[in-house]
Chain A
């Protein structure tokens, strides 16, 4: 089976002699659904960052989508990022853009025409139940709504890999339900690889999944 992510003796840290993740070995199959759990501050977000190239491996090897992440060039990284959809813990929506344009961002970057991206955005806004908020700006939306916008944006360009950092962190029941449905849908229908960082695995999940746990810098497979 194809591997989307391969880590060999991967160590991650922000400062030279500290270690957030140390000598981790794991691989993630293409098309799988993966949960990563761990206490807060254990390094879950840091691990996700290494997957989209926001932090380089301190030591060891990391391959994402067949691309070596050690000393990756800017153009290669940009190319890789255009095939990844990230849902950030703090949403990272562009405040001065409308909801519609925020969702369109990956499509603008990939150079789709207005027609194509327009209809794709309408479809996604329908999925996240935000059609009527399309013209509003992020600060005018509730936390749950902003999280759903971030979800729609991560799906917009049909990425091969979705990285979601606590996508239902402190959301209402309704928003959580919408987000889990979307992630499951992308995984089953589009065979998108999904990696979700979360405190606990939701009971609603119906697809088969893998579960990794981070503790004291080590990553081990739970199930």
Chain B
């Protein structure tokens, strides 16, 4: 019964670390998905006196993914009735060209400004509209959200690691008698601490299992999907191959490193 309690506290602690990491990953994923979403909607308008080909635009900045000319025909067509053909042709010649530039990723506000400056260096370009103002607020909010979650999960992981360390000290205390008796009969360190390592590994596997189950349930009920759909994005909250593998590695890493510190600490006390 006592050993079950010990197991449980390590499993809960490991689970908390894994959960914090997974939330961190999920937020990262959500923001990446949201950035893609924004990127697809986001474009810069360029007004120029000269025609540019898409290749020419792409050469101006690596951030530029593609460009499309904004057709002025529609506007001109509307003016057809009110102007003479001759004036219209003249207007067509003097009218600047309009382009819409799409970027290959969602830019930071300063990236927009830099891009704007670089484009304006070209004498043919008259005006660049980056919509930096509206873009700015959304992006800053998002980054703030990301920072808060990250700091939070790091804090949780750190505090829980300390808890695990304390838990393992307790283990060491419980196992120290057996370990010292084994030493008196010439058992090498790895054999003496085999039980500790076995417990640590088993608990890491159990904690990962519980994490997978938790996210499976969350995914099954689709609470997060509904929430994210309202902002128009869809992410994979938990990838059952990548994420469970990473979680297992983290759990094993944390528990084995902590066991090692205890075993090495014990060795020095002798």
A54 CA to B187 CA, complexed, in Å: 14
User: When each residue 178-206 of chain B gets 1 if its CB lies under 8 Å from chain A and 0 otherwise, what string results?
Assistant: 10011111111101000000000000000
Please give me the residue from chain A that is nearest to B192 by CB atom. Answer: A109
- Residue contact A82 to B185, C-beta cutoff 8 Å: yes
State how many angstroms separate the Cβ of B170 from the closest Cβ of chain A.
15
**Using a CB-CB cutoff of 8 Å, which residues 62-120 of chain A contact chain B?**
74-75, 77-82, 84, 86, 88, 92-97, 105-106, 108-109
Question: Contact: B181 with A54, CB < 8 Å?
Answer: no
When the two chains form their complex, are residues B184 and A109 in contact, meaning their CB atoms are under 8 A apart? no
Q: CB-nearest residue of chain B relative to A82?
A: B186
Which A residues touch B181, using CB under 8 A?
A: 92-94, 105
Contact (A78, B177) CB under 8 Å given A105-B182, A109-B182: no
Q: Is the CB of B186 within 8 A of A54?
A: no
Is A109 touching B187 in the complex (CB atoms < 8 A)? yes
Closest to A81 in B: B186
Within B59-104, the residues touching A (CB, 8 Å) are: none
Q: Which residue of A has the minimal Cβ distance to B179?
A: A94
Interface residue tally on A, bucketed by range: 20 to 34
Interface residues on B, range: 10 to 19
- Is A52 at the interface (CB under 8 A from chain B)? yes
Query: Which residues of A have CB within 8 Å of B183?
Result: 78, 81
CB distance B178 to A109 under 8 Å? no
Which of A54, A79, A108 sits near B184, CB closer than 8 Å? A54
B185-A81 in contact (CB<8A): yes
Across the interface, which residues of B come within 8 angstroms of A84, CB to CB?
Answer: 186
Least CB separation from B3: chain A residue: A96
Per the bound structure, the CA–CA distance linking A109 and B182 in Å amounts to: 8
- Closest chain B residue to A78 by CB distance? B186
Q: What's the least CB distance linking A124 to chain B, in Å?
A: 15
B18-58 interface (Cβ within 8 A of A):
none
Q: Which of B139-186 contact A (CB under 8 A)?
A: 177-178, 181-186
- A81 and B178: CB pair below 8 A? no
| B187 engages A52 (CB within 8 Å) | no
Q: How far is the CB of B185 from chain A (nearest CB, A)?
A: 5
> Which residue of chain A has its CB nearest to the CB of B267?
A74
Decide if B188 touches A78 in the complex (CB within 8 Å). yes
- CB contacts (< 8 Å) of B182 on chain A: these are 94, 105, 109
Q: How far does the Cβ of A159 sit from chain B's closest Cβ, in whole Å?
A: 10
- Complex: A108 Cα to B190 Cα, angstroms: 13
Residues of B within 8 A of A108 (CB): 191
Give the CA-CA distance A52 to B180 in the complex, in Å: 13
Report chain A residues within 8 Å CB of B188: 75, 78
Looking at the assembled complex, report how far the CB atom of B35 sits from the nearest CB atom of chain A, in whole angstroms: 55
The 7 closest A-B pairs by CB, nearest first: A81-B186, A82-B186, A78-B186, A109-B187, A94-B178, A92-B181, A106-B185
- The interface of chain A, by Cβ under 8 A from chain B, is 52, 54, 74-75, 77-82, 84, 86, 88, 92-97, 105-106, 108-109
| 20 A-B interface contacts by CB (under 8 A) | A75-B188, A77-B186, A78-B183, A78-B186, A79-B186, A80-B186, A81-B186, A84-B186, A86-B185, A88-B184, A92-B181, A94-B178, A94-B181, A94-B182, A96-B178, A97-B178, A105-B181, A105-B185, A108-B191, A109-B185
Given contact pairs A54-B184, A81-B186, a sample of 6 additional A-B residue pairs in the complex whose CB atoms are under 8 Å apart: A74-B189, A82-B185, A94-B178, A95-B177, A96-B178, A106-B185
